[in-house]
Amino acid sequence: MRTVRSEAELREIVQEPSQAIWDKDIGRIDAHARTLIAHSPFVLVATSTPDGSCDVSPKGDPAGSVLVLDDHRLAIADRPGNHRVDGFRNVLRNPHVGLLFLVPGMNETLRVNGRATLVSDAPFFDDLAVQGKRPRLALLVEVEELYLHCAKALLRSSLWRPETWPDRGALPTAGRVFKDHIGIKQFSAEQIDEDLDRDAENNRY
User: Taking the model in full, what pTM does it have?
Assistant: 0.95
* 52 φψ region: left (φ > 0), alpha (ψ -120 to 50), beta (else): left
Q: Nearest Cα to 77, choosing from 53, 57, 92? A: 57
Ordered by start, the domain boundaries in the chain are: 17-157, 166-203
Architecture of domain 17-157: Roll (2.30)
Q: What is the pLDDT of residues 82-94, one digit of tens each?
A: 999 999 999 999 9
State how far the alpha carbon of 81 is from the alpha carbons of 85, 170, 196, 202, in Å. Answer: 8, 27, 12, 12
As to burial, measured by CB atoms within 10 angstroms (0-12 exposed, 13-18 middle, 19+ buried), residue 85 is: middle
* Nearest-angstrom CA–CA distance, 112 and 101: 8
* 183 φψ region: left (φ > 0), alpha (ψ -120 to 50), beta (else): left
As to burial, measured by CB atoms within 10 angstroms (0-12 exposed, 13-18 middle, 19+ buried), residue 84 is: exposed
Confidence of residue 170 (pLDDT cuts 50, 70, 90): very high
* Nearest-angstrom CA–CA distance, 34 and 68: 7
Q: What is the pLDDT of residues 35-60, one digit of tens each?
A: 999 999 999 999 999 999 999 999 99
